Amino acid sequence: MFKHEKPLLRDVKVERPNPQYAVLMQEQLGGANGELKAALQYLSQSFRVKDPEIHDLFLDIAAEELSHMEMVAQTINLLNGHEVDYTKTPGGEIETHVLTGLAPGLINASGHPWTADYVNVTGDIAADLLSDIAAEQRAKVVYEYLYRQINDKYVKETIDFLLNREEAHNALFREALNKVQDRASNKDFGVTKDSRLYFDLSTPGRYFDDPEPTPPSFKNPRENSRETSRS
């Protein structure tokens, strides 16, 4: 069950309308690393999660991402101002001025529509968590790029908040991944020597110079922890 609280998670405002900044912010509304993608990815992943703590984590973060989406949309709304004028926006994203009447759309900064292809769901808790960690990292990078290019102090404050929340989600997903080290695809799939090999295929290198190369191997970190616990 969901419910909507009228106040934003954090108030947003702008110094003045700036349609070009609005276009940039569209990337985090309807882009591949945006807030809608994150919310629907974590929500979709939660449907198959049996661990109650991780299930709640996915739903909590998904709900927060929808709150972030609301903040981004309202920021775009304020930046777009009140008069449609496509000449104030860079080429590529004019839908806001000729189609949506300045309403924030589910499009990225180039005007391409949001797609469910952005959402990654495997049904495997380990694979999904790794995908989520990467997703939060990518979202943080996009916010860093936006922060450097948008010179509106209030929008920068919003971006700073959202960027830091991406860091928090990243840390939470990492903690969850640590909890499932022996589950799902994290389990060894028939341990053989082949899973312990590393090939240095750069040249010059010993694998091209040595007639009988012996590739280096690495130990499973879990084996090291087991050995430590036995001693």
Q: Pick out the residues of the known binding site for Mn(2+).
A: 35, 65, 68, 136, 169
Q: How far is CA 180 from the centre of its chain?
A: 20
- One-letter amino acid of 220: N
If one counts every other C-beta atom within 10 angstroms of the C-beta of residue 29, the result is 26
Q: Which two tokens stand for residue 88?
A: 């104030």
In whole angstroms, what is the distance from residue 41 CA to residue 120 CA? 6
What are the binding residues for Ca(2+)?
56, 60, 202
- Residue identified by tokens 């992943």 is 45
DSSP letter at 114 equals P
Which of 140, 145, 111, 152 has the alpha carbon at shortest distance from 21? 152
In whole angstroms, what is the distance from residue 64 CA to residue 5 CA? 12
What are the binding residues?
35, 56, 60, 65, 68, 136, 169, 202
Half-sphere exposure of 16 (CA within 13 A, CB side): 1
Question: What is the helix, strand, coil percentage profile of the chain, to 5?
Answer: 60, 0, 40
In whole angstroms, what is the distance from residue 178 CA to residue 155 CA? 35
